[in-house]
Structure 1
Amino acid sequence: MSYGIKLRVWGEYALFSRPEMKVERVSYDVMTPSAARGILEAIHWKPAIRWVVDRIHVMKPIRFENIRRNEVATKASGNRVIHATHERQQRASLLLRDVEYIIEAHFEMTDKRGPEDTPEKHYNMMLRRARQGQCFHRPYLGCREFPANFELVEEDTVPASPAFQGEQDLGYMLLDLTFTVNAKGEVVRTIPHFFRARMVDGVITIPRIEDVNR
């Protein structure tokens, strides 16, 4: 039995930020694998499972739009309060407009699984929650101010993308982040992983981190 799922997501705006752009926010051309994983985890996640994104189908043409957004210059901390009125900055952002994707993914069991954690249990929980529109928190398209709508794709095959034909090189894209923690469980190092994204007939096949790092 296969435990893979297909999820259609869409929204009015999206911003999958390129990490090399330090001041102005500029989106990748399409959804990143880490953003896709975040949407899946917003619907169903437990320590016993780990989501792996297999393919991303780009269902609508890539359209960018420039807007200006209010941001603050500093980060909040336990001993520092941000006064947005005094620290507000207006910055330009290059967003994606009117996006739609189909995420193909599967989950793997982790070493944190318990006796009651079975693949069948988590697969059925994901199907039920996706069908009913349930989520732990509202999934979003790169930034929390751009909420994602979602629905389960029940068909065995994903329809061909009407927006793209042929192969397109999208350049290097963020695949995911891994973290090194110390004995206290604190993150001491964050490691980004990138891959060369190629879209064939609107479909991007996502490599595993282990294969990228060979």
Structure 2
Amino acid sequence: MSDKIYRNTVEFAVRGRYALFSDILTRAGGEKSSYPIPTYEALKGILHSIYWKPTIVWYIDSVRIMNPICTARKGIRPIKYGGGNDLAYYTYLEDVYYQVRAHFEWNLNRPELEKDRNEHKHHNIARRMIERGGRRDIFLGTRECQSYVEPCVFGESTGAYDNCGIIPYGLMYHGITYADEAVNDEDKGMMTVRLWRPEMNNGVIDFIRPEECTVKRHIRKMPVKPFGRELENFVGLDEFAGGDQYELD
């Protein structure tokens, strides 16, 4: 487990009856099968549902697997593009429970939002949104896998894999780097898919940062949509930076 704790760290527990962190290699035939562990991008999506602003970028530091990894196979009737329904089998994770630790950093690709860089404001709002269960619906991987979040202390309680040592996993999907969050020069102006090789150490997976992923592929060029003018029209940025009484969705 990583010992580094950031000043604006948030910790929360997420639970759900089912989860589907689908491996893209299993989608070609119309069926989906979940990875055994959550992906970085899925956990980041949960934080976006809890609280997100273009001023900040969420970084997932660690996830702790609390319940045994179990799967359930379900028959699904997805809608076909040409109309009607098809029949497919999806393999879900069942009865999932995770503890997550994350922090945010400023999005330096958006200098137009520099006046909104009020660390205490964003941190306090994020903590309140965790206490209230998030701003938007929370789900684990796919929309049909509804879940719930609540505050927790990372590392408390007993997990199913606390004494299992190191369990390595193969090459897995890490996430997508969009142009407005790119750090490396070669990734700027591009949409990039990242892969990595995770290890679970006594139930805890410490994620590497997106820019540290060496296995990646550029999908297409992507411009950065500017923000700032819309905020100025809504409320003066000087006032917006002054406190959390102004909250823009």
TM-score, structure 2 normalization:
0.73
CA distance in 2: counterparts of 1:196 and 1:100, whole angstroms: 22
- Which residue pairs with 1:110 in the alignment? 107
- Which residue pairs with 2:25 in the alignment? 20
The answer for unaligned runs of 5 or more in structure 2 is: 1-5, 181-188, 216-249
- Which residue pairs with 1:88 in the alignment? 85
CA distance in 2: counterparts of 1:18 and 1:63, whole angstroms: 16
Q: Which structure has more RCO (C-alpha within 8 Å, separation ≥ 6)? A: 1
- 1:100 equivalent in alignment to 2:97: yes
- Which residue pairs with 2:184 in the alignment? none
Q: Any conservation in 2 of the 1:60–1:161 contact (CA below 8 Å)?
A: no
- 1:30 equivalent in alignment to 2:37: yes
Correspondence list, 1:170-185, <5 A: 170-179=169-178
- 1:41 equivalent in alignment to 2:42: no
Instruction: Kindly state the Cα deviation for residue 170 of structure 1 after the two structures are TM-superposed.
Output: 2.0
Quick check: which one's strand share is greater? 1
- Which residue pairs with 1:5 in the alignment? 10
Runs of 4+ in structure 1 displaced over 6 angstroms? none
CA distance in 1: counterparts of 2:156 and 2:118, whole angstroms: 31
Report sequence identity in percent: 28
- Which residue pairs with 1:58 in the alignment? 65
- Which residue pairs with 2:224 in the alignment? none
Instruction: Kindly state the Cα deviation for residue 39 of structure 1 after the two structures are TM-superposed.
Output: 0.2
The answer for unaligned runs of 5 or more in structure 1 is: 75-81, 182-187
SS of 2:169 mapped into structure 1: strand
CA distance in 2: counterparts of 1:132 and 1:4, whole angstroms: 17
- Which residue pairs with 1:78 in the alignment? none
CA distance in 1: counterparts of 2:168 and 2:22, whole angstroms: 18
SS of 1:171 mapped into structure 2: coil
- 1:195 equivalent in alignment to 2:196: yes
Instruction: Kindly state the Cα deviation for residue 210 of structure 1 after the two structures are TM-superposed.
Output: 1.8
Q: Any conservation in 1 of the 2:65–2:159 contact (CA below 8 Å)?
A: no
Mark the CA change 1:109 to 1:180 in structure 2 (over 3 Å): closer, same or farther: closer
- Which residue pairs with 1:140 in the alignment? 139
The size of the alignment, in residue pairs, is: 195
Structure 1, 52-61 or 188-197: larger mean CA deviation: 188-197
CA distance in 2: counterparts of 1:162 and 1:127, whole angstroms: 24
- Which residue pairs with 1:120 in the alignment? 120
Quick check: which one's helix share is greater? 2
SS of 1:41 mapped into structure 2: helix
Superposed CA deviations along residues 10-67 of structure 1, whole A, max 9, x for unmatched, are 1000000001112210000011110000000101000100000011110000001110
Superposed CA deviations along residues 112-147 of structure 1, whole A, max 9, x for unmatched, are 334243111100000111112231x20101110111
Mark the CA change 1:134 to 1:177 in structure 2 (over 3 Å): closer, same or farther: closer
TM-score, structure 1 normalization:
0.84
Q: Any conservation in 2 of the 1:57–1:161 contact (CA below 8 Å)?
A: no
RMSD: 2.0
SS of 1:106 mapped into structure 2: strand
